[in-house]
Amino acid sequence: MRPLALTGLGIVSPLGVGRAAFFEALADPEQAARQAFEPTTEILLDSLPDAHTAEIWGWDPAHWLGKKGHRSFDRLTKFLIVAAKHALEDAGLKEGGEFLHLSPAEVGICSATAYGSLDAITELNRVAELEDPRYINPTRFPNTVINAAAGYVSIWEDLRAPNTTVVDGNCGSLDAFLGCATHLACGRARAFLVGGGEIVSEPLYLAMHHLGLLRDERGIGLIPSEGASYVVVEPSEQARARGATIAAELLGYGTHFEPPRSEALLAHASSTSVELAILGALGDAGLEPSAIDAISSSQSGLEELDAAEREGIVAALGPDVPILAPKLVLGESFGAAGAFGVASALGWMQGLPMAPRVGGRAPSSPPRHVVVTAVGYYGNVSAIVLRSGDRP
C-alpha cells in the first residue's frame, strides 16, 4: 500500500470529546478506567437499572453543534458530525465551516458501524407496535437506514466525494481504511474522513445481556461503549505540500475470515484469523514482524476471544511485542472500536503512557510502528499498520 497520511483527529469518547480531552484522559489510564465506566444515566433506565456502560457522559449536542438544524438527527449522527467537524479542523482542511484546503467535491467519508442507529429503530418500533404504525414520524424514518448517519455528516460538512459505510462487526472501522485507500488510489477523492461510530442502546444492551456477554462480578465480559472517531486520511505528499502535520501514516491493511470448526457454531474465536490478518497487513506495509513496536489490540474482557487474539498476535509477532488494550479504558464500542484503537495509538506515538498492557514486554519509548487489530465474533479479523509521523 502507498503510505497515506493521518492529518487530523476528531473523537467523541467516554473519556472526553476532542483530541485534547481524549489525550489528557489517556495520560492517566487508571483514572480513565474509573472515569469511563459508570451506571448508565439516561439510556437504559427502563430495563436493567444496574446496567454499567461507557457512555458519552453529559452529552450536550447543542454545545458542539449549536441549537438549530439537528432536531431530527439521532445520537449516532450527532456523534459522527462532531467527530467529523473536529477532524476536519484538526487537519487544517476547514475552519469556521469554510474549506481552507481542498473543496467539497474532493473530500469523502469512509465510515463504519456495527449496529447503526438501533435507538432510532426502537423509537419508531415503539410507536408502530404500541400505538399505530401510521403515527411514526417520517422525519425520523431515514435514521433507521444504516448509512443515513454518515449521509448526514456529508450534508452538515458539505462533503460531496464518495460517502461509504461499512459493517463488519468489530472490524468495520479498520475496514474503512481499506475503503479510503481504495478510493484514493482510484482518484475518487483527495481526502477522506475515516473511522466510525456506535451508540449504546437499550436493545443492544439487552442483546448482550441475553447472550451473557456483559462484564460480571469477576470482571469477565465486556462493557458496552459508544462514541465516534474520525481521522483525516490523505496522500502523504499532498499533506506535506499543504504544510499539514502528519500524526501518523497508514502503511498496510490485512484481513482474514476463518469459519468455525463446527457447523453448529456461529460465533467463535480464531487465532488463525488474527495471525493472518496481522501478517497480511505487514505484507501490505512491506515490514517484517520485528519492526512492530506495539499492538493496539481488541482485548475487551471476553475470555475466549481475548485468548485467541493474544495467541494470534504471538504467532505473528512473537511474545515480546507490548499488547495494549484500549477497550479496558474505553469499553467495547464495536464498529467504532478500531477507530478508538487508532486514536489511542496516535496518543502513544506522542508519548502518552502505553497502557493498559495485557501482554508482551514493557515499552521503553513511544512506538514507531503500531499494529491496530479488530477481532470480530465470527472469525473475521482486520488489522492495519501505522507509522508515527511528525507530531511531537
Partner 1 sequence: MTRVFITGLGVVSPVGIGVDAFGAALEAGQTGAAEIAHFDHSAFERHIACEVKGFRPRDHLTAAETRRAGRCSAMALAAARMAVEHSGLSPERLQGERTGVIIGTTMGEADVLGELESAWLHQGNHAIEAVKIPRYGTTLLPIHVARAVGARGMVQTLPAACAAGNYAIGFAADQIRAGRADVMLTGASEVIEKLQFAGFVRLGAVSPDCVRPFDVGRKGLLVGEGAGMVVLESEAHLVRRGGVPIAEVGGYGLACDAHHITRPHPDGEGSLHAMREAIRTSGLLPEQVDFINAHGTGTHANDRVEAKVIAEIFGSHRPAVTSIKSMLGHCMGAASAIEAVSCVLSITRGLLPPTINIEEVDADCAHLDLVLDRTREGRADVVLNNSLAFGGYDAVLALAKPGLLPDPAEVLA
Closest distance of CB 365 from partner 1, Å = 34
Kindly indicate which of the ranges 35-43, 207-215, 289-297, 302-310 contains the residues binding partner 1, using the contact rule CB under 8 A: 207-215
Q: What is the CA radius of gyration of the chain?
A: 20
Among 13, 378, 383, 387, binds partner 1 (CB under 8 A): 378
Q: Which helix (H) or strand (E) holds 172?
A: helix 172-185
Closest distance of CB 367 from partner 1, Å = 27
Q: Which helix (H) or strand (E) holds 327?
A: helix 327-330
Please report whether residue 258 would count as binding partner 1 according to CB under 8 A.
yes
Q: How many residues bind partner 1 (CB under 8 A)?
A: 76
Q: Which of residues 225-254 bind partner 1 (CB under 8 A)?
A: none
Q: Which string of x and - marks every residue 187-206 that binds partner 1 (by CB under 8 A)? A: -x--------------x--x
Please report whether residue 340 would count as binding partner 1 according to CB under 8 A.
no
Query: Which residue carries 484546503 as its cell?
Result: 101
User: CA distances (Å), 136 to each of 56, 116, 133, 146, 333, in order?
Assistant: 27, 19, 6, 18, 29
Please report whether residue 99 would count as binding partner 1 according to CB under 8 A.
no
Between 64 and 192, name the residue whose CB sits nearer to partner 1: 192
Please report whether residue 84 would count as binding partner 1 according to CB under 8 A.
no
Please report whether residue 158 would count as binding partner 1 according to CB under 8 A.
yes
Pairwise CA distance, residues 382 & 360, whole Å: 21
Please report whether residue 169 would count as binding partner 1 according to CB under 8 A.
yes
The C-alpha cell of 206 is what? Answer: 439487552
Between 186 and 362, name the residue whose CB sits nearer to partner 1: 186
Q: Is the Cα torsion angle 258, 374, 119, 84 positive or negative in sign?
A: negative
User: CA distances (Å), 350 to each of 90, 253, 347, 368, in order?
Assistant: 15, 22, 5, 10
Closest distance of CB 133 from partner 1, Å = 4
Please report whether residue 45 would count as binding partner 1 according to CB under 8 A.
no
User: CA distances (Å), 228 to each of 15, 102, 111, 116, 179, in order?
Assistant: 12, 24, 10, 12, 18
